[in-house]
Structure 1
Amino acid sequence: MLIDVFNGRDHKNATPAGRFHFLRPPTPGERVELNGKILVVTRAWHQPGICYAGAKFAILISDQIPATATSEPAFPVHDEVREVIQP
């Protein structure tokens, strides 16, 4: 799938990074590697339009990890004997 990639903190001030092929569209919070650098997808959206050739999906990437990616999980993680695993 051809996807437009923008790099920046928000879409208004982002710079186009190019069009890249992905097997599936990345989701927000997912890490992707572009040009040897690991980046975090902060936003993903569909660009509807059949009137032009090109990517129909776009993502916004950033080298800064969003606060939600470093927060604790919303539910506790248990091991086989139902003990809560502490990080």
Structure 2
Amino acid sequence: MLIDVFAGRDRRSATPRGSFHFARSPRPGEQIEIDGVFLVVTRAWHRPDVHYPGPKFAILVDDRASRTEESGPVHDAVGTPA
């Protein structure tokens, strides 16, 4: 699944990080790893208003995250637990 990733505190001020392939959609609260950087998903939404080939789903990540053991599973850009 191709997903647009945005980084920031809210959707309006978020900056695009790119589009990445995931085996499944990451959920809010999960950590993901992109290019060796651990990020926490804060929002996830469907984008039915997008009328072009490509991602129809997006996530917002907090790029101030650090990896901790108690934060739960970490998924890399292909969606497999790290």
Aligned counterparts of 2:30 and 2:39: Cα–Cα separation in 1: 8
Change (3 A) 1:11 1:50: closer
SS in 2 for 1:13: coil
Aligned counterparts of 1:44 and 1:59: Cα–Cα separation in 2: 4
More strand as a share of residues: 2
Equivalent in the alignment of 1:36: 36
Equivalent in the alignment of 1:84: none
Per-residue deviation, 1:52: 1.2
Per-residue deviation, 1:63: 2.7
Question: Higher relative contact order by CA 8 Å / sep ≥ 6: 1 or 2?
Answer: 2
Deviating above 4 A after TM superposition, structure 1's stretches of 4 or more consecutive aligned residues are none
More helix as a share of residues: 1
Q: Which amino acid aligns with 1:10?
A: D
Equivalent in the alignment of 1:15: 15
- Between stretches 16-25 and 48-57, larger displacement belongs to 48-57
SS in 1 for 2:12: helix
RMSD (CA atoms)? 1.7
Aligned counterparts of 1:13 and 1:49: Cα–Cα separation in 2: 19
Q: Which has the larger radius of gyration?
A: 1
SS in 2 for 1:11: coil
Change (3 A) 1:50 1:63: closer
Q: So what's the TM-score if we normalise by structure 2?
A: 0.74
SS in 2 for 1:3: strand
In percent, how many aligned pairs have the same letter?
Answer: 61
Which runs of no fewer than 5 residues in structure 2 stay unpaired? 71-82
**Matched residue count:** 66
